[in-house]
């Protein structure tokens, strides 16, 4: 149990900080970073990990065709959420967008697996505790939204308040869409259990069995993300940006992809180590740790530099509520 929690905390730290390397790629647009990130995080590393940890991987995948189709569908839907997630970070910044998105992803992804498969568990003590923790986290998100609105006004100045408000509303809408579609990757983890069981039966360690799911769901998400990047390359003529610091840019974009994939891999390892409630308690814990880590990373990167105490106060209140929510869920 303790090992599983440590895996999940590690996953949350990686998930909350993976986007930091993007800040080093000056002169690149969102699609320049995300294109390389997608290949690294969604295609290359998932298959490498699966081939090395799941014996007879192709046999495992071929033996569960109905489950495979459902996991692929969840992957495509999650791919839409991943696009919005990346754009949300780009519009609002790590320290503001990530708490809002991760908080929504946390709430939907924690409660819905139980509600769909065994709703009676929500009325048991563990289920009630989970819902209480999620409720606290949602209140924390409201405070973050308040902080974000104030920060935007201060950054833009009085003469640009109208545009600032419009930009924040656009970013908030993107974050909400990301929060709705983002949990689909956890649904794939829950409904992909037959793939994990088949992987274990062929010799895979239970700790690494989830890699049989990730290689499929992330590949499905990869295609959605790549199509969007190509569309933006054509619209913005941004492929030429790769001429500016390609070597360094490639390193940082790949690093972001590696960090993000490790977050998913460690989540699978931790969720399988916790037991029956792993997909809910583990998911909630990981996303909450990611929010805290992302907030710290955003402050460290200077996203709140020069912002007044009046604007920072709701952010601090939101952070405290998120920590309380994590404690309630994980206790």
Using one digit for the tens of pLDDT, what is the confidence trace for 239-252? 999 987 888 899 99
Buried b (16+ CB within 10 A) or exposed e, 49-77: bbeebbeebeebbeebeebbebbbbbbeb
Comparison of pLDDT for 153 and 32, the residue scoring more: 32
pLDDT digits (tens, 9 = 90+) for 84-139: 988 888 887 766 777 778 777 777 777 777 777 777 777 888 788 878 888 888 88
Higher pLDDT, 21 or 145: 21
Copy the structure tokens of residue 321.
């509520």
Give the span between the Cα atoms of 229 and 58, in whole angstroms: 29
Q: What rounded mean pLDDT belongs to the chain?
A: 84
Confidence of residue 171 (pLDDT cuts 50, 70, 90): confident
**Residue 60's pLDDT band (boundaries 50, 70, 90)?**
very high
pLDDT in the model for residue 159: 46
Of the listed ranges 22-26, 131-135, 296-300, the least confidently predicted one is 296-300
| pLDDT at residue 301 tops 80 | no
What is the average per-residue pLDDT within 254-283?
A: 81
Flag whether pLDDT at 330 surpasses 90.
no
């Amino acid at each position: 149990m303790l090992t599983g929690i440590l895996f999940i905390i590690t996953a949350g730290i990686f998930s909350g900080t993976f986007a930091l390397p993007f800040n080093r790629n000056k002169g690149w647009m969102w699609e320049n970073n995300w294109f390389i990130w997608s290949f690294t995080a969604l295609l290359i590393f998932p298959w490498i990990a699966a081939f090395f940890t799941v014996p007879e991987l192709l046999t495992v995948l071929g033996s569960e065709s109905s489950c495979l189709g459902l996991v692929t569908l969840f992957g495509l839907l999650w791919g839409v959420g991943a696009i919005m997630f990346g754009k949300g970070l780009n519009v609002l910044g790590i320290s503001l967008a990530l708490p809002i998105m991760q908080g929504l992803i946390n709430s939907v992804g924690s409660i819905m697996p139980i509600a769909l498969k065994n709703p009676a568990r929500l009325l048991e003590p563990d289920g009630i505790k989970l819902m209480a923790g999620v409720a606290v986290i949602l209140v924390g998100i409201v405070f973050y939204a308040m902080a974000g609105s104030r920060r935007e006004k201060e950054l833009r100045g009085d003469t640009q308040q109208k545009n600032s408000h419009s930009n924040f509303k656009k970013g908030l809408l993107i974050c909400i869409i990301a929060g709705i579609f983002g949990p689909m990757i956890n649904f794939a983890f829950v409904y992909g259990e037959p793939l994990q069981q088949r992987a274990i039966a062929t010799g895979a360690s239970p700790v690494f069995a989830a890699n049989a799911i990730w290689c499929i769901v992330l590949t499905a998400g990869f295609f959605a993300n790549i199509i969007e990047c190509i569309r933006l390359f054509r619209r913005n003529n941004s492929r030429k940006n790769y001429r500016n610091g390609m070597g360094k840019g490639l390193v940082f974009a790949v690093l972001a992809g590696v960090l993000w994939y490790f977050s998913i891999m460690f989540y699978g390892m931790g969720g399988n180590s916790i037991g029956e409630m792993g997909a809910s308690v583990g998911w909630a814990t990981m996303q909450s740790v990611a929010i805290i880590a992302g907030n710290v990373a955003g402050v460290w990167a200077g996203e709140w530099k020069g912002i007044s105490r009046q604007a920072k106060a709701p952010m601090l209140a939101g952070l405290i509520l998120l920590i309380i929510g994590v404690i309630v869920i994980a206790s």
